[in-house]
């Protein structure tokens, strides 16, 4: 059985080699085939058209990449600008609150934290009695 498969493989390999040798054309046969050609084997206008289309597709792709990069950059700059605006507004609001608190303290007449402590203790003592 093994020898049968071995012989079969050898026969198939030899058949492939002989088919390749018979497929080779002689030089005279090649010349004859070239003389019988009626039309060119390539079409330069069609090839030029395909190359031009490929060039335009690459150019469009590059343009699209640039546009996407610009859009991403602008969106990142807008986000950074919003963050800075938010931070500035928050700091301004905190400073306004500090200023308003200091103004109220001046209007009420408290000049120091010790006075505030004493007044709060007096109010607590009055309410608890």
Question: What are 88-122's pLDDT values in tens digits?
Answer: 999 999 999 999 988 887 777 766 777 778 888 99
Q: Say yes or no to pLDDT of 54 above 70.
A: yes
Instruction: Please state, in angstroms and rounded to a whole number, the distance separating the CA atoms of residues 84 and 37.
Output: 75
pLDDT of residue 105: 77
Give the residue carrying structure tokens 């859009």.
Answer: 71
- Give me the pLDDT at residue 19, please: 47
| Helices and strands of the chain, counted as H and E runs | 4, 0
Q: pTM, whole model, 2 decimals?
A: 0.42
pLDDT digits (tens, 9 = 90+) for 4-33: 666 666 766 665 555 455 556 688 887 787
Distance CA 128, CA 20 (A): 116
């Amino acid at each position: 059985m093994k020898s049968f498969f071995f012989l079969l493989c050898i026969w198939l390999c030899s058949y492939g080699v002989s088919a390749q040798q018979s497929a080779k054309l002689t030089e005279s046969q090649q010349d004859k085939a070239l003389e019988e050609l009626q039309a060119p084997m390539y079409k330069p206008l069609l090839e030029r058209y395909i190359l031009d289309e490929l060039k335009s597709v690459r150019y469009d792709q590059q343009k699209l990449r640039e546009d996407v990069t610009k859009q991403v950059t602008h969106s990142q700059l807008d986000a950074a600008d919003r963050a800075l605006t938010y931070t500035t507004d928050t700091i301004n609001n905190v400073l306004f609150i500090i200023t308003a608190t200091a103004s109220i303290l001046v209007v009420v007449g408290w000049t120091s934290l010790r006075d505030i402590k004493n007044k709060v203790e007096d109010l607590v003592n009055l309410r608890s009695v």
